[in-house]
Chains A and B, each alone.
Chain A
Amino acid sequence: MQNHQVIQDCLDQFDKGTLTREQLSEAFDQVLPRRCQDLLYLQAAETGLDVRLIGMRMLVNGELWEPEDDDWPYSCVMDAIKDGWRVISFPNMSLSLNENRTYGLGFEFILEKCQ
């Protein structure tokens, strides 16, 4: 139902004197749904957007999720971007300043979606 129609229904019920608190609360939830940020952590083998991923975890609808075995939804960062994810953090290069010391897993991109 369109937001406009939800509000119009509430107004109609108000005019009739039949609008209840519960109906108004439901209307709020429909018109102003709680926005929840989804996060996608991707660790790539190198800094390129088209490089093979070696690690992945998601926060979707407030729940942590990770793929099973080799059934991964994306093979590289670019695949995730094409699917609507927005990069909010690029790899921290300060972790790679010493070529003989490896800190952490690969090169980490953090992406988000807002639902």
Chain B
Amino acid sequence: MTTLVHDCEPTLTDRQVIQFCRDGYMEFPSEVAQDVVDRAIAFIEDNPDHRRQPVTLLEEDWFLEGLIFAPAVVGAVRSLLGKGFQLARMLANHDGKCPEPQPLGWHVDGGNMHTYALNYLQVFCLMQDTTEDMGPTELLPGSHFILGQSALVSHYGAIRGTKKCVGPAGTVFITCYPIWHRRSKATAASGTRHLFKYNYARTSPPTRDWIIEPDFDPAVDTREFSHLEHGGLFMRRNILDCYDAAHMYLWLCGLEREMRYLGGHTWPMPNNTDIGEMRAAPPSLSTTPDAWRPDAPPI
């Protein structure tokens, strides 16, 4: 098996990187061609012993080029994980039978770690047109910042603001590994829903080498960090959503040492862009990098 290291140009912008930090996932509709999806499903049907772990597909060039390294997806992965990211040698197929009246319990996958670092990504690919009645994966946006192991969250049921991973075949969802998810209940009378799951890993240090937008300034446009301002659920202390997303963004920029929790109306509290740069923005993002900045030791 060849080493599954890949390199390509980053395709995400600053705003999109922040969006991922904030929401914990990103969606790419119909990114994998139908014929690639069909061929992969045919492999599953022809090789029932590999039905749930079709890892041998990772030996196939058509599969790697068409699905694993689909251009828009790897451009996003490259933006988030840096140069020379690697594919983990695992491929799972979650085949869910329909109907299934009870949803799975909410969970985070084994091996998760709650951190501002982004060293790997978990990816889901819809292997057929997937509708709500087929029991699609359900995510809780923003939950990658909530500390909760699977054993503590499995009794939860309906949660407001969730995202059901529906869409045409070949739709890909890139997720932050510790995001809460589950299979929702399936009301369809028959059939099987297939979902491929795989991981990419970082092999280089984080740096802000994605697309820099000339009309976007992260020291000014701090609303981008706010989950609440983008329709997110109020799940945590006010403004903590901004701090957490900003902290992950700075880590990805290779600037985590500049992250400070200052409170009050300082960066990254949501800002009215008319007033310009937010007070105490990180030096490397600021127009006044040498200015004095406050510190705020926690009690």
Residue from the list A57, A64, A102 in contact with B147, Cβ < 8 A = A102
Tell me if A64 and B236 are in contact (CB < 8 A).
Answer: no
Tell me if B158 and A105 are in contact (CB < 8 A).
Answer: no
Contacts of B191 in A (CB 8 A): none
Residue from the list A52, A66, A101, A104 in contact with B158, Cβ < 8 A = A66
Contacts of B298 in A (CB 8 A): 100
Tell me if B237 and A105 are in contact (CB < 8 A).
Answer: no
Given that A45-B234, A99-B237 are known contacts, is A66 also in contact with B157, CB under 8 Å in the complex?
Answer: yes
Tell me if B148 and A100 are in contact (CB < 8 A).
Answer: no
Q: Which partner residue on chain B sits nearest A110 by CB separation?
A: B155
Tell me if A43 and B156 are in contact (CB < 8 A).
Answer: yes
Tell me if B158 and A72 are in contact (CB < 8 A).
Answer: yes
Expressed in whole angstroms, the Cα–Cα distance for A72 and B159 within the complex equals: 10
Q: Which partner residue on chain B sits nearest A46 by CB separation?
A: B234
Given that A45-B234, A99-B237, A102-B240 are known contacts, is A55 also in contact with B148, CB under 8 Å in the complex?
Answer: no
Q: Which partner residue on chain B sits nearest A64 by CB separation?
A: B102
> Count the B residues whose beta carbon is within 8 Å of the partner chain — how many?
24
Tell me if A41 and B156 are in contact (CB < 8 A).
Answer: yes
Residue from the list A52, A65, A105 in contact with B156, Cβ < 8 A = A105
The SS class assigned to the A binding surface is loop
Expressed in whole angstroms, the Cα–Cα distance for A99 and B237 within the complex equals: 7
Tell me if A54 and B240 are in contact (CB < 8 A).
Answer: no
Q: Which partner residue on chain B sits nearest A103 by CB separation?
A: B147
Interface assignment of A111: CB less than 8 Å from any CB of chain B: no
Contacts of B240 in A (CB 8 A): 100, 102
Tell me if A105 and B148 are in contact (CB < 8 A).
Answer: yes
Interface assignment of A67: CB less than 8 Å from any CB of chain B: yes
Tell me if B148 and A104 are in contact (CB < 8 A).
Answer: yes
- Per-residue CB contact flags for chain B residues 21-43 toward chain A (1 = under 8 Å, else 0) read 00000000000000000000000
Expressed in whole angstroms, the Cα–Cα distance for A99 and B148 within the complex equals: 15
CB proximity to A under 8 Å, residues B71-129: 102-103
Interface assignment of A77: CB less than 8 Å from any CB of chain B: no
10 A-B pairs with CB atoms under 8 Å apart are A41-B156, A43-B159, A66-B158, A68-B158, A100-B240, A102-B146, A103-B148, A104-B152, A105-B148, A105-B153
Residues of A within 8 A of B (CB): 41, 43, 45, 52-58, 64-68, 70, 72, 99-106
Given A56-B157, A67-B158, 18 additional A-B pairs, CB 8 A: A41-B156, A43-B159, A54-B235, A55-B157, A56-B158, A57-B156, A64-B157, A67-B157, A72-B158, A100-B243, A101-B147, A102-B240, A103-B152, A104-B152, A105-B146, A105-B148, A105-B159, A106-B235
